[in-house]
Amino acid sequence: MGDSVQWGILSTGSIARSFVKGLEAVPDAEPVAVGSRTQRAADAFGDEFGIPRRHPNYAALANDPDVDVIYVATPHSLHKENSILCLKAGKPVLCEKPFTINRSEAEEIVAVAREAGLFLMEAMWTRFLPIMYQVRQWIQDGAIGEVRMVSADFGFGSTPGRTKSRLYDPALGGGALMDVGIYSLSFASMVFRRPPSRVMSMAHIGELEVDEQAGMMLGYDAGEMAMLFTSIQCGTTHWAHIMGTGGVIRIHPPYWRGTTATLVRDGKETVAERPYDGNGYNCQAEAVGRYLREGKLESDEIPLDETVAIMGTMDMIRDQIGLKFPME
Ligand SMILES: NC(=O)c1ccc[n+]([C@@H]2O[C@H](COP(=O)([O-])OP(=O)(O)OC[C@H]3O[C@@H](n4cnc5c(N)ncnc54)[C@H](OP(=O)(O)O)[C@@H]3O)[C@@H](O)[C@H]2O)c1
């Protein structure tokens, strides 16, 4: 790898665009190649973002010798196939959330990366925001005593009838849980550092057979709890709270791209402001660059075993709410 991390972008959809814009705020990284299902889309994306190498399929991108690492930004149902394609071509991978459709797919990708000795990470970008480092530090320092409860929600309004997107398509892993519920599940996992031992969930499955709202209660083995909800029918509060025996941490909305948190302890409030440059996706891209330079194979912020465990919790939730995808 040279001085600058040479990124390959796999697909040309909405988040691929945001990620490439984010890279503009990373000094030692550049998008050098894009791969799409069509040459036309690859060319249009390349023209828009000044990306010189444009490939008419994902395999050509995976085999591009000028690419150091590939960002996989296809719908969830394709993450396994696309990530394995890149890893088998010898490329490290940053793969969008949710990492896969289910735990067994996640295990498959991780096994391929470990076998090949290549870097792999779920693009849970929220964990790399500066405010999340402060939050983790407060927890580690015991600023709120023993952590006992978490609450978090992420929902937005959308219109099923008019939406042809992956969001309402079971074949692409649609629904609220997979799209945005994952953020709150991942947040609870970040705080408790282990999977729950009990899960209770409820959902509304809409006409298009994906969950349009879901609520989840997670229980941990020392009695800790997390209460999470998600929706694609309505906007939610986007707050996250961590409650301990000695205080509370509030992450201001939207917590998943937050810059501000308040520590409440002994009746006193301490506010931490941690703004970031760029659109936030740059924070994870910077971390990946650092890992690659250090020769690390996975991230400290979101280790692979944790990603796999989160997919396992999603499996339990989907089982309880009756959300099945046709490819399973
Ligand atoms: N981190 C975040 O904040 C964030 C935000 C939004 C989404 N995401 C995640 O990123 C992934 C992509 O989401 P998105 O909103 O960018 O989706 P999108 O706008 O629908 O784009 C997905 C892209 O994947 C490619 N693709 C390959 N096979 C496809 C198929 N059968 N149907 C549709 N597209 C296909 C297409 O690119 P080509 O035609 O060029 O091949 C398409 O443009 C999802 O897993 C989602 O959860 C993350």
DSSP string, 217-247: EEE-TTS-EEEEEEESSS-----EEEEETTE
Pairing of strands 268-273, 260-265: antiparallel
pLDDT at 159: 81
pLDDT at 165: 81
Distance 262 CA to ligand 1 centre (A): 34
> Do the beta carbons of residue 184 and residue 152 sit within 8 Å?
yes
Residue nearest to atom 7 of ligand 1 (CA): 15
Pocket around ligand 1 at a 6 A CB cut-off: 11-16, 36-37, 41, 73-76, 78, 96-97, 123, 125, 165-166, 172, 179
Q: Where are the domains of the chain?
A: 5-125, 126-280+309-321
The domain defined by 5-125 folds into Rossmann fold (3.40.50)
Distance 219 CA to ligand 1 centre (A): 32
Per-residue model confidence as pLDDT tens digits over 24-56: 999 999 999 999 999 999 999 999 999 999 999
The whole-model pTM stands at: 0.98
Per-residue model confidence as pLDDT tens digits over 198-251: 999 999 999 999 999 999 999 999 999 999 999 999 999 999 999 999 999 999
Per-residue model confidence as pLDDT tens digits over 299-324: 999 999 999 999 999 999 999 999 99
Reduced to 3 states, what is the DSSP secondary structure of residue 6? strand
pLDDT at 160: 74
Distance 55 CA to ligand 1 centre (A): 17
Distance 9 CA to ligand 1 centre (A): 11
> Do the beta carbons of residue 288 and residue 119 sit within 8 Å?
yes
Residue nearest to atom 24 of ligand 1 (CA): 74
Among 82, 86, 96, which residue has the most ligand 1 atoms within 8 Å of its CB, making it the best to mutate?
96
Mean pLDDT of 240-264: 98
Exposure string of 180-216, with b = 16+ CB inside 10 Å and e = fewer, is bbbbbbbbbbbbbeebbeebebebeebeebbbbbbbb
Reduced to 3 states, what is the DSSP secondary structure of residue 249? strand
Among 45, 71, 81, 166, which residue has the most ligand 1 atoms within 8 Å of its CB, making it the best to mutate?
166
Residue with the bigger pLDDT between 61 and 3: it is 61
Per-residue model confidence as pLDDT tens digits over 121-172: 999 999 999 999 999 999 999 999 999 999 999 999 998 765 568 999 999 9
Mean pLDDT of 51-68: 98
Q: Where are the beta strands (DSSP E) in the chain?
A: 5-10, 29-35, 53-55, 69-72, 93-95, 120-122, 147-155, 198-205, 211-219, 225-231, 240-244, 247-251, 260-265, 268-273
pLDDT at 2: 81
The tally of CA atoms less than 13 A away on the side-chain side of residue 119 is 23
> Do the beta carbons of residue 200 and residue 214 sit within 8 Å?
no
The domain defined by 126-280+309-321 folds into Dihydrodipicolinate Reductase; domain 2 (3.30.360)
Active-site residues: which are they? 97
Residue nearest to atom 8 of ligand 1 (CA): 15
